[in-house]
Chain A
């Protein structure tokens, strides 16, 4: 079975631009979460979606948004990019939402560089 797949693997953007990152969960998993990992730090929670509804949101500005599609894939959008948005963006899927603590399985991430 394929694991969590993310695209693109690497991306370079300029300050002020917009970016869309994509994620396909493990087959059968209905929940997708997004995390930001800055170099040398642990991942930080951005969003969780379950059954196409937002179920949780971390401490990130409104420039960050996401959605989940009927096939359970997901997109993370970031507007008005700042240099500080440079990071590894990780997508994780689980059978159920974090509520109930279903184990998260991560993809290999999208490395975003903002110049």
Chain B
């Protein structure tokens, strides 16, 4: 089955700086890669997703890049703000019956 590795497990950045979270996946059949933000006491919230026919997608301060050859995708957050502090999860799916496979999460801390 699919295996998703996510790094780093904790990331601390100064407010206003950029943050990058990286994930790798193992199943070459995976074709859908969402990113979720989870705040304390809440469920994961979808913030951006990318499909394998696209290399990059941007939504305001958030962007995701995908390298299918290397089986690698990344989340980029620019001009970080205190409200960006949360746990971020990457995930991958081949559209089959196995659902989404999630990484272990990155705790993003925005230092004022």
A interface list, Cβ under 8 A from B:
4, 33, 35, 40-45, 48, 55-58, 90, 92, 98-101, 103-109
Contact indicator B95/A42 (Cβ below 8 Å): no
- Further 10 A-B residue pairs, CB within 8 A, beyond A41-B104, A41-B105, A92-B43: A42-B6, A42-B89, A42-B105, A99-B97, A101-B51, A103-B34, A104-B34, A106-B45, A107-B43, A109-B43
Q: Could you give, for residues 65-107 of chain B, a 1 whenever the CB lies within 8 Å of some chain A CB and a 0 otherwise?
A: 0000000000000000000000001010101111111111100
Expressed in whole angstroms, the minimum distance between the Cβ of A34 and any Cβ of chain B is 9
Contact indicator B43/A45 (Cβ below 8 Å): no
Most chain-A Cβ atoms within 10 A of its Cβ — which of B31, B44, B45, B89?
A: B44
Minimal Cβ-Cβ distance residue in A for B52: A101
Question: Interface of chain A, helix or strand or loop or mixed?
Answer: loop
B interface list, Cβ under 8 A from A:
4, 6, 31-32, 34, 36, 41-46, 49, 51, 89, 91, 93, 95-105
Cα distance A109–B45 in the bound complex, in angstroms: 12
Expressed in whole angstroms, the minimum distance between the Cβ of B33 and any Cβ of chain A is 9
